[in-house]
Amino acid sequence: MISVGIIGASGYTGAELARILCNHPEVRITAATSRQHAGQPLSEVFPSLRGRVDIICENLSIAELCEKADFFFTAVPHKTAMDLVPQLLAAGKKVVDLSADFRLRDVSIYEEWYQPHSSSQLLAEAVYGLPELYRHDISSCRLVANPGCYPTSIILGLAPLLKAGAIEAQTIIADSKSGTSGAGRGAQVGSLFCEVHDGFRPYKVGRAHRHTPEIEQELSVLAGANVHISFTPHLLPLSRGILSTIYASLVPGFDRQKIDALYRNQYQNEPFIRLLQEDTFPATQYVRGSNFCDISFKIDHTTNRIIIMSAIDNIVKGASGQAVQNMNLMHGFTETTGLTSAPLFP
Amino acid sequence: MISVGIIGASGYTGAELARILCNHPEVRITAATSRQHAGQPLSEVFPSLRGRVDIICENLSIAELCEKADFFFTAVPHKTAMDLVPQLLAAGKKVVDLSADFRLRDVSIYEEWYQPHSSSQLLAEAVYGLPELYRHDISSCRLVANPGCYPTSIILGLAPLLKAGAIEAQTIIADSKSGTSGAGRGAQVGSLFCEVHDGFRPYKVGRAHRHTPEIEQELSVLAGANVHISFTPHLLPLSRGILSTIYASLVPGFDRQKIDALYRNQYQNEPFIRLLQEDTFPATQYVRGSNFCDISFKIDHTTNRIIIMSAIDNIVKGASGQAVQNMNLMHGFTETTGLTSAPLFP
Amino acid sequence: MISVGIIGASGYTGAELARILCNHPEVRITAATSRQHAGQPLSEVFPSLRGRVDIICENLSIAELCEKADFFFTAVPHKTAMDLVPQLLAAGKKVVDLSADFRLRDVSIYEEWYQPHSSSQLLAEAVYGLPELYRHDISSCRLVANPGCYPTSIILGLAPLLKAGAIEAQTIIADSKSGTSGAGRGAQVGSLFCEVHDGFRPYKVGRAHRHTPEIEQELSVLAGANVHISFTPHLLPLSRGILSTIYASLVPGFDRQKIDALYRNQYQNEPFIRLLQEDTFPATQYVRGSNFCDISFKIDHTTNRIIIMSAIDNIVKGASGQAVQNMNLMHGFTETTGLTSAPLFP
Amino acid sequence: MISVGIIGASGYTGAELARILCNHPEVRITAATSRQHAGQPLSEVFPSLRGRVDIICENLSIAELCEKADFFFTAVPHKTAMDLVPQLLAAGKKVVDLSADFRLRDVSIYEEWYQPHSSSQLLAEAVYGLPELYRHDISSCRLVANPGCYPTSIILGLAPLLKAGAIEAQTIIADSKSGTSGAGRGAQVGSLFCEVHDGFRPYKVGRAHRHTPEIEQELSVLAGANVHISFTPHLLPLSRGILSTIYASLVPGFDRQKIDALYRNQYQNEPFIRLLQEDTFPATQYVRGSNFCDISFKIDHTTNRIIIMSAIDNIVKGASGQAVQNMNLMHGFTETTGLTSAPLFP
């Protein structure tokens, strides 16, 4: 049984951590911070948690936090995270950081897309928290950089292909669609019900979204070469869910059977990856509320392209669920603990 | 560990039973029937269940069923249930029936609203499966008539008031709103996305909905007198959720404090009822996917009326969750086993 | 052809006025004010209006406004309106005010529910802009107080009954449900997509909503006596639409046929009221985008209650459409001009 | 004033034709056929049309139809259309066919994707009804093959680029997302509210959707060479709207300015095409209910790709609105007659 603190509990990913952890048999939530809601029970901020979560939001110093918990999830905006994390580590704590601050290994790329980095000394140490790729490193580290939601869906979809050299990396196009929880709980006109409901739109088109360098970093590692892709995010009129439709040209010699084997070899023992049969395609409604990533692919021989589709719940496998999966690994718990709920459908 | 069969597994309540039971530590699903999908894995009918539920749908005789499981959920339409249940009981099985066939104690009322009853001899034995009212009887019975979704929300909202004589029973008006999963998975134009989405409508207005006699039966027991109410169902553009707004005239002498005490006395130890503070109102999004029933009330002194609001997930507390709660009681498991997930929000 | 100004063009009702007026053959929009968006084309604030509306938002003084237009819609918050309207009238302009500032005839009631009134001298002159009740007065006035959305749906539903004394006025309960556009375009957490979508909730329960005195004022006029009702607003996960389900006890002697005649006598020549046949009920999706108010009723003989249902689009008949209807009357245009579009379904 | 018949009035495109035409000053609807709803007013099938459309659905022979109207819209399934249309033409009528039967010029391609063609003699005569490309031919023809919804969005998005040779045609990938009205009004499980709501999925992936040959035919004409593309349709949880995100490699020498000029030259006088400014992207909610097609593009210099986005309302510009636009051209009415409503937002 470990004591866990959620730093930044009043956002959607913070609430989702509380939702998952309140049913985790090895964990007790002993701290939850929120400047805005200090003094309020978290279950008042998120009435869904009434009767399940009794922690009170506090505005705590690092010193106070470190007395209250052994393990921390930092669910705060980038820049805030880079200030907090070093102090938590210095106090001997383990951390899963859900911000972007420790995901990019190259500080110059980070600073190009975000702002100056005050803790770049930790970049080499932080492990990119995609267990399907970095399970071993995660198990023995003290700082996990929890992946972005879009990157999770795209990297998992492409990993077996890039490792095997089955696709031409420079032809990759990822057309991704996300539910609105990804925009966070900030009050802004663009996230109002009436603006989003019954509508659909692209945004940050053409190398404008900050997940681009994160995706390219990991795809480059997998490909063993610098990869640039086209990535277009879109906003779906639903709360939870990301579906990425990914296109690439096939390298000669790879057919359905071989591709199938690549996916199977990589993923057949993965507890949270579900490979779908031919002509069965993922759908966000079938992963809702779960830590699953559903993947399938289709080859179009006329254009010699493969179309890979992957679906996740953006605040579970794309954020808080994956964070708990990482915590499980870091502490030697069974990796699936607290994450076995079946998706909620309909 | 008991073996459980789901008869009628391919509807929404059948799928929901599978979703809940696959995480229940005392239960194994050993049979799932579906005429239409015989031979198909249930997880193919409901891809959300992939990797969690591996049962194959079958078209089984009662004899075959009885060999496969000890406990049964009958999630079939009314009329079908009345034929199956007696045979299951005769074979020594325990049953939670999710249809309407054993809910009404008076066969003539049943036959007025439905059709002739072929198993009316069981009506006296069947226990109305609302644990908050009939926990003791449920624990020792072999047949539970699982309540309807609307009745669950309305009866739980009114029980403390009627038992205490705090409201004038003949003034009760229940204006209820339900998500579309209540209409089932049958292919009909009225349930199509384009017909329901971005719209709202009443239906079966004016004593036309079959849940009316069920509600009135239980309210009459609580009031100790014949009660007739106005009940209007409406269709909401969402999948899961019922919210009932209930109006009644207060009996002189009852004020906020006394009413509050009535609710607290009745419900404060109930694991699935959450009483909300004054001026906090239930919302379907805060119970989604959970077995909770959220209740609050407000008194309007100008009109001398109390307004009670209750919210449930219609296919959890309003159907499959409550059915599992009943099974837990019938088998002596902890009542909340398998039902402790926090609601999914957002 | 008249020149029209929209004061407060950047909210949903302002945009809806522009949407309707841009197809009105007798009107030119010559001014649109928005402090926040001054200098921006209105079609940039609402890209739906691109190619149809070319007015630029400005931050104009009353003097400047009065030079630009002959007729004004004030689509600003209450309190702001009471300051603007007297100046517009003093300049000889006609005004339809969409705020609450001139709806209540009794200044003390206004001040009880809102705040001190600085223009109470206009209350006696302002005409309540429900053409179905006050057409004659509207035609000859210079200031219309455009009704609230909930009041429009409730008053139109009850008018024929109250005028004929067919229901007991003190038994009226109005359970109303509104789409989210009614909450306006302000950035607030409670209106975010993720908070509203896939959910349903009551709010301001028990004489807490400011539309209560407006509804009661008009019902009292119709009944010829002081009327107090129970009115509960709810928030629907859709953009446009209000459906009110209204309950009342029938006065002896009134049956379906007589009630039917009352509605027919009052409404059969009304261009925007559609009376539905028995057992056909209104639905918000069938009035979406139109100025229609659909009404039907059902009698429940067991409880001796009548249930009246009415549906409108809250920002058309409940706001901007009705405002244009009033403008048409004030200027002697055909009442339906610019308002003949059929509802958008699906 | 012409008399118009809608053959197949009880589907969504039939209802949409009625919605548009009932406000068209030059048209009277004099026939509406529906086998299933014969004898019923169309406004009973679609209550939104009450008070606006008074035609009764009938099951009429061709001879009876031809006596009733001069112009016909055939809004029936493919195969049914190919039987009806020759008879209507033989009777001297003009026809806009909304099915796929006359869209493909090459009968062998039609028969590969659909079934044998019984009226292939008309394929040479039928004009593909995209006014932005074929206005002149449409104006003088008697049979228009109204384009598919996906093809409309994709072809309009690509036309200026292909005509100018600005993109490498073999690199085109069209990732398209459609609202559910595109699936029609047939009662099928996959179109139920609970299956579609709060979810998102691809379907018919990898050259499996029948719009593929239609798109490729028109793109090939524009490119002056055989073009094969990747086209992936997805199902959005909304009623109306298609957004296509289209990717292609730029031919050297074309930059933002030149591309901008291509679009402007082709479309600046088009009444229904709105070109958006840089970094403003289309959204389905801004074209809802209108005949607009919104287009913008973005160049990604790192990958040397252009991303083109286009949005339409799939049952207006993607079906019935375009059909009326074609009718206007065929009869010499002003092209925009009846189609000037601004989009409905929110």
Written as one letter, the residue type at D346 is P
Count of CB atoms within 10 A of residue A315's CB? 30
Are A120 and A176 part of one and the same domain? no
Q: Do D50 and C12 touch (CB under 8 A)?
A: no
Count of structural domains, chain B: 2
Counts of helices then strands in chain A (DSSP H, E): 11, 13
Contacts of C193 in chain A (CB under 8 A): 180, 191-193, 195-197, 237, 239
**CB of D234 within 8 Å of any CB in chain A?**
yes
pLDDT score of B230: 98
Nearest to B228 among C195, C302, C346 (CB): C302
**CB of D238 within 8 Å of any CB in chain B?**
yes
Interface subset of B 287-346, CB within 8 angstroms of A:
287-290, 292, 294, 340-346
d(Cα D206, Cα A299) in Å, to the nearest integer?
6
Q: Do D239 and B12 touch (CB under 8 A)?
A: no
Write out the two tokens for D108.
Answer: 């062998």
Average pLDDT, integer, range D319-341: 98
Are C96 and C171 part of one and the same domain? no
Are D165 and D269 part of one and the same domain? yes
Does A131 reside within a domain?
Answer: no
Does C322 reside within a domain?
Answer: no
Dihedral sign from CA coordinates of C153, C157, C160, C163: negative
Q: How far is A283 from chain C (nearest CA, A)?
A: 18
Of C146, C39, C283, residue with least CA distance to D50:
C283
Contacts of B45 in chain A (CB under 8 A): none
Q: Which residue in chain D has the smallest CA separation from C50?
A: D274
Of C296, C341, C290, C293, residue with least CA distance to C316:
C290
Average pLDDT, integer, range D245-252: 98
Task: Name the band, by pLDDT with cuts 50, 70 and 90, for residue A292.
Answer: very high
Q: Which residue in chain B has the smallest CA separation from A314?
A: B346
- Percentage of chain A modeled with pLDDT above 70: 100
In angstroms, what CA-CA distances link D301 with A229, B94, B234? 11, 68, 53
Q: Which residue in chain A has the smallest CA separation from B44?
A: A280
Q: Do A230 and D300 touch (CB under 8 A)?
A: yes
Are A50 and A183 part of one and the same domain? no
Q: How far is A44 from chain B (nearest CA, A)?
A: 10
In angstroms, what CA-CA distances link C23 with B104, C69, C301, D88? 58, 18, 47, 35
Q: Do C197 and A12 touch (CB under 8 A)?
A: no
Q: Do C185 and A189 touch (CB under 8 A)?
A: yes
Question: Tens of pLDDT along B86-126?
Answer: 999 999 999 999 999 999 999 999 999 999 999 999 999 99
Are D109 and D248 part of one and the same domain? no
Contacts of B286 in chain A (CB under 8 A): 47-48, 50
In this structure, are strands B273-275 and C2-7 parallel, antiparallel, or unpaired?
unpaired
**DSSP annotation string for A199-239:** --EE-STTTTSTHHHHHHHHHHHHHTS----EEEEEE-SSS
Task: Name the band, by pLDDT with cuts 50, 70 and 90, for residue D59.
Answer: very high
Contacts of C173 in chain B (CB under 8 A): 173, 247, 305
Q: Do B284 and C200 touch (CB under 8 A)?
A: yes
Collect all residues with Cβ–Cβ distance below 8 Å to C115 and sequence separation of at least 6.
Answer: C79
**CB of A128 within 8 Å of any CB in chain B?**
no
Task: Name the band, by pLDDT with cuts 50, 70 and 90, for residue D280.
Answer: very high
- Percentage of chain D modeled with pLDDT above 70: 100
Q: Which residue in chain C has the smallest CA separation from B298?
A: C206
pLDDT score of A58: 97
Contacts of B286 in chain C (CB under 8 A): 199
Q: Catalytic: which of A57, A149, A194, A293?
A: A149
Are C200 and C267 part of one and the same domain? yes
d(Cα D151, Cα D147) in Å, to the nearest integer?
7
In this structure, are strands D2-7 and D27-33 parallel, antiparallel, or unpaired?
parallel
**CB of D237 within 8 Å of any CB in chain C?**
no
Q: How far is A172 from chain B (nearest CA, A)?
A: 28
Domain of B167, CATH number, reads: 3.30.360.10
Q: How far is B148 from chain C (nearest CA, A)?
A: 20
Does C340 reside within a domain?
Answer: no
Are D55 and D178 part of one and the same domain? no
Do residues A231 and A212 lie in contact, with contact meaning Cβ atoms separated by under 8 Å?
yes
Dihedral sign from CA coordinates of C94, C96, C97, C100: positive
Contacts of C19 in chain D (CB under 8 A): 342-345
**DSSP annotation string for C270-295:** -TTEEEPPTT----GGGTTTS--EEE
Average pLDDT, integer, range D124-138: 98
Average pLDDT, integer, range D36-63: 97
Say which residue the tokens 């009170």 belong to.
Answer: A56
Provide the b/e sequence for D104-124 (b: ≥16 CB within 10 Å).
beeeeebeebbeebebbebbe
Nearest to D46 among C46, C340, C345 (CB): C345
Q: How far is A43 from chain B (nearest CA, A)?
A: 10
Write out the two tokens for B276.
Answer: 């909300």
Nearest to A191 among C192, C198, C238 (CB): C192
Are D231 and D273 part of one and the same domain? yes
Question: Tens of pLDDT along D164-205?
Answer: 999 999 999 999 999 999 999 999 999 999 999 999 999 999
Q: Do B52 and A342 touch (CB under 8 A)?
A: yes
Enumerate neighbours of D (3 or more CB pairs within 8 A). Answer: A, B, C
**CB of D252 within 8 Å of any CB in chain A?**
no
Are B238 and B302 part of one and the same domain? yes
Q: Do D340 and C52 touch (CB under 8 A)?
A: yes
Mean pLDDT by 10 residues, chain C (346 residues): 97 98 98 97 98 97 97 97 98 98 98 98 98 98 98 98 98 98 96 98 98 98 98 98 98 98 98 97 98 98 98 98 98 98 98
**DSSP annotation string for D142-172:** SEEEPPPHHHHHHHHHHHHHHHHT-B-GGG-
Does D319 reside within a domain?
Answer: no
pLDDT score of D155: 98
Q: Which residue in chain D has the smallest CA separation from C13?
A: D346
The three-class DSSP label of residue B136 is helix
Count of CB atoms within 10 A of residue C225's CB? 12
Enumerate neighbours of A (3 or more CB pairs within 8 A). Answer: B, C, D
Are D103 and D57 part of one and the same domain? yes
Are D173 and D301 part of one and the same domain? yes
Q: Do D173 and A247 touch (CB under 8 A)?
A: yes
pLDDT score of A199: 98
Q: How far is C110 from chain D (nearest CA, A)?
A: 30
D141 noted as active-site residue: no
d(Cα B182, Cα B175) in Å, to the nearest integer?
16
Q: How far is A140 from chain D (nearest CA, A)?
A: 37
Range of the domain at C198: 150-314
Chain B interface disruption, residue of D192, D197, D201, most B CBs within 10 A: D192
Nearest to C286 among D48, D290, D344 (CB): D48
Q: Omega of the bond prior to D47 within 30 degrees of 0, cis?
A: no
Does A330 reside within a domain?
Answer: no
Task: Name the band, by pLDDT with cuts 50, 70 and 90, for residue D309.
Answer: very high
Do residues D156 and D293 lie in contact, with contact meaning Cβ atoms separated by under 8 Å?
yes
Question: Tens of pLDDT along A12-67?
Answer: 999 999 999 999 999 999 999 999 999 999 999 999 999 999 999 999 999 999 99
Are D199 and D101 part of one and the same domain? no
pLDDT score of A213: 98
Q: Which residue in chain B has the smallest CA separation from D182?
A: B194
d(Cα C142, Cα D316) in Å, to the nearest integer?
40
Domain of D73, CATH number, reads: 3.40.50.720
Does D333 reside within a domain?
Answer: no
Task: Extract the residue ranges of chain B whose pLDDT is less than 70.
Answer: none
Question: Tens of pLDDT along D96-107?
Answer: 999 999 999 999
d(Cα B327, Cα C23) in Å, to the nearest integer?
62
> CA gyration radius for chain C?
20
Half-sphere exposure of D188 (CA within 13 A, CB side): 8
Chain B interface disruption, residue of A16, A48, A269, most B CBs within 10 A: A48
Q: Do A274 and B53 touch (CB under 8 A)?
A: no
d(Cα B39, Cα B29) in Å, to the nearest integer?
16
Does B86 reside within a domain?
Answer: yes
Contacts of D194 in chain B (CB under 8 A): 12, 180-181, 185, 191, 239
Q: Which residue in chain D has the smallest CA separation from A311?
A: D201
Does A235 reside within a domain?
Answer: yes
